[in-house]
């Protein structure tokens, strides 16, 4: 399918081929699904929200509910205020959510709709809420949309007069429900009382009960978001996705947050647990020390198969940096590190990470890149392993590469949203997948007399 990609690299500024991102509303919709009894609402055309819902549904294999202002030509010319007012009234009458979370699209942003003014003028039932954020599709990526929506919940709901409590706020970033469950397990083992915002566990990975619920029992409650204003502190995981919510909480309520990488691999999980221990005053239990030891043992056992193998890593910026950190700890050499989300900060952080392991020389790092860039690099200087989302499968087939799926989205396989990549346990499972992919390829390519049964 991609066999005709040319080796000659030409600079492209106005064209993306096989992009490594999607638009802001996808992230905003996913964030809103992590709040209890919340209806995400797309202020734009029906086609926009249909795409956003389909994109999430294909990854999570769960229905992603959302409503739309259903713009037509009239709303596009005269503004969507009337559409939004009618939509919100119908949503509360028909579906009875506790809160409607409105995000914009490229259309409503281009015509300049003022959602804040619309919401202030709106008749909202006394026991209901409407919040909003701006998510222009032509700026940033789904990562920025997620950040803006979480910050929107905080700006509207976090209460600076909330009683001081012993809770730690946790902004998990754009991760799967399986990762959120692992975060909650770590917090539980540490004995930390927390508020997770957002929390899609139980919503986008709900059990099959035979009964459809539009608003499952999962998600952060409105009262919990209000209580963030009295939290003793917060941890913002994922520097690209959670910095904005951390700033919003500090600005509105004066609550300090520590912004740090997603806890992938050994060192970043160490940093997360130590920061959690510092902010909560709780010790790190022996159970977690044992998990760390098992991960280190696996890394040592399989080191001959990891060491020196060159890999390419692509996907969302926070996830890519976490995967690159784990890859370096395993002994892999990340030759190409690329994200579709724009921003020089990614390139600086990735470069610094590679330099800290002495692997920066000869490596290529790029933000606002695409899979065409990556394919051309690989054609000119091959690698041994590809790590990233489902969109890499055609590249892997074209270049006959072992391929490990990780990140968002995984569209062509099942169960990935349930599996944690973070923490020591997540790193151990991911290291096993990487080792299996490398060793399966060795078995496939070797002579019959070299096919080993025992390693």
Report the chain's mean pLDDT, rounded to a whole number: 95
Written as six digits, the tokens of 380 are: 């000119």
- Low-confidence winner among 123-127, 353-357, 381-385 (lowest mean pLDDT): 123-127
Pick the more confident residue, 31 or 75: 31
Do both 310 and 276 map to the same domain? no
pLDDT bin (cut points 50, 70, 90) of residue 91 is very high
Neighbours of 448 (CB within 10 A): 5
Do both 303 and 399 map to the same domain? yes
Do both 282 and 388 map to the same domain? no
What's the average model confidence in pLDDT over 257-285? Answer: 97
Residue 299, domain member (yes or no): yes
Do both 444 and 316 map to the same domain? yes
What's the number of domains the chain is made of? Answer: 3
User: If residue 104 lies in a helix (H) or strand (E), which one and from where to where?
Assistant: strand 99-104
Pick the more confident residue, 1 or 430: 430
Q: How far is the C-alpha of 67 from the C-alpha of 87, rounded, in Å?
A: 8
Residue 76 has pLDDT above 90, yes or no: no
Do both 186 and 324 map to the same domain? no
Residue 16, domain member (yes or no): no
Residue 441, domain member (yes or no): yes
Domain boundary among 260, 288, 316: 288
Residue 200 has pLDDT above 90, yes or no: yes
Residue 184, domain member (yes or no): yes
Closest residue by Cα to residue 268 from 321, 347, 313: 321
Do both 434 and 302 map to the same domain? yes
Task: Produce one character per residue of 357-372: b if its CB has 16 or more CB atoms within 10 Å, e if not.
Answer: eebeeebbbbbbbbbb
Closest residue by Cα to residue 284 from 422, 217, 187: 187
Peptide bond into 409 cis (omega under 30): yes
Do both 153 and 205 map to the same domain? no
* CATH value at residue 284: 3.40.50.1980
Residue 83, domain member (yes or no): yes
Q: How far is the C-alpha of 411 from the C-alpha of 22, rounded, in Å?
A: 14
In this structure, what are the phi and psi dihedrals at residue 365, rounded to the nearest 5 degrees? -125, 135
Is 129 in a helix, a strand, or coil?
strand
Neighbours of 393 (CB within 10 A): 17
Do both 215 and 325 map to the same domain? no
Residue 58 has pLDDT above 90, yes or no: yes
Residue 433 has pLDDT above 90, yes or no: yes
Do both 283 and 302 map to the same domain? no
Do both 272 and 197 map to the same domain? yes
What is the pLDDT at residue 75? 76
What is the pLDDT at residue 74? 77
Domain boundary among 259, 288, 317: 288
Give the number of C-alpha atoms closer than 13 A to the C-alpha of residue 8, restricted to the C-beta side: 1
Domain boundary among 269, 288, 307: 288
Q: How far is the C-alpha of 332 from the C-alpha of 419, rounded, in Å?
A: 22
Q: How far is the C-alpha of 2 from the C-alpha of 392, rounded, in Å?
A: 11
Do both 336 and 254 map to the same domain? no
Which residue range(s) make up the domain with 335? 295-450
Residue 438, domain member (yes or no): yes
What's the average model confidence in pLDDT over 31-51? Answer: 96
Residue 260, domain member (yes or no): yes
Residue 148, domain member (yes or no): yes
pLDDT bin (cut points 50, 70, 90) of residue 1 is low
CA distances from 442 to 59, 445, 452 (A): 30, 5, 10
CB 133 within 8 A of CB 151: yes
User: If residue 27 lies in a helix (H) or strand (E), which one and from where to where?
Assistant: helix 24-32
Residue with tokens 């809420």: 129
- Helix, strand, coil percentages for the chain (3-state, nearest 5): 50, 15, 40
Do both 53 and 131 map to the same domain? yes
What is the pLDDT at residue 190? 97
Residue with tokens 């200087």: 381
């Amino acid at each position: 399918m991609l066999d005709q990609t040319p080796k000659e690299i030409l600079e492209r500024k106005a064209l993306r081929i096989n992009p490594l991102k999607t638009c802001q509303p996808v992230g905003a919709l996913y964030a809103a699904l992590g709040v209890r009894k919340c209806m995400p609402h797309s202020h734009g055309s029906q086609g926009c929200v249909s795409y956003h819902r389909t994109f999430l549904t294909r990854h999570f294999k769960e229905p992603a509910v959302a409503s739309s202002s259903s713009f037509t030509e009239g709303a596009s010319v005269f503004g969507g205020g009337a559409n939004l007012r009618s939509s919100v009234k119908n949503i509360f009458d028909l579906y009875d959510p506790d809160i409607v979370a409105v995000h914009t699209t490229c259309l409503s942003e281009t015509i300049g709709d003022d959602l804040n003014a619309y919401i202030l003028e709106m008749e909202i039932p006394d026991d209901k809420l409407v919040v909003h954020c701006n998510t222009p599709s032509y700026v940033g990526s789904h990562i920025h949309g997620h950040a803006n929506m979480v910050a929107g919940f905080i700006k509207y709901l976090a209460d600076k007069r909330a009683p001081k409590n012993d809770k730690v706020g946790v902004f998990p970033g754009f991760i799967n429900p399986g990762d959120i469950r692992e975060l909650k397990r770590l917090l539980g083992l540490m004995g930390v009382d927390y508020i997770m915002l957002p929390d899609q566990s139980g919503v986008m990975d709900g059990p099959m009960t035979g009964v459809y619920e539009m608003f499952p029992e999962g998600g952060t409650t409105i009262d919990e978001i209000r209580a963030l204003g009295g939290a003793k502190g917060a941890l913002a995981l994922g520097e690209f996705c959670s910095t904005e919510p951390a700033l919003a909480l500090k600005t509105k309520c004066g609550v300090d947050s520590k912004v740090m990488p997603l806890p992938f691999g050994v060192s970043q999980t160490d940093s997360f647990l130590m920061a959690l221990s510092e902010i909560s005053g709780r010790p790190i239990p022996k159970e977690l020390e044992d998990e760390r030891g098992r991960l280190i043992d696996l890394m040592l056992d399989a080191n001959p198969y990891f060491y020196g193998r060159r890999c390419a890593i692509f996907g969302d910026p926070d996830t890519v940096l976490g995967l690159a950190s784990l890859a370096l700890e395993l002994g892999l050499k990340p030759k190409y590190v690329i994200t579709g989300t724009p921003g020089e900060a990614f390139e600086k952080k990735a470069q610094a990470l590679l330099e800290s392991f002495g692997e920066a020389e000869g490596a290529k790092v790029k933000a606002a890149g695409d899979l065409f860039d990556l394919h051309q690099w690989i054609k000119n200087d091959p690698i041994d392993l590809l790590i990233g989302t489902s969109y890499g499968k055609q590249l892997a087939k074209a270049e006959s590469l072992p391929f490990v799926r990780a990140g968002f989205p995984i569209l062509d396989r099942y169960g990935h949203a349930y599996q944690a990549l973070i923490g020591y346990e997540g790193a151990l499972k991911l290291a096993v997948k990487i080792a299996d992919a490398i060793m399966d390829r060795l078995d496939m390519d070797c002579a019959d007399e070299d096919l080993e049964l025992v390693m």
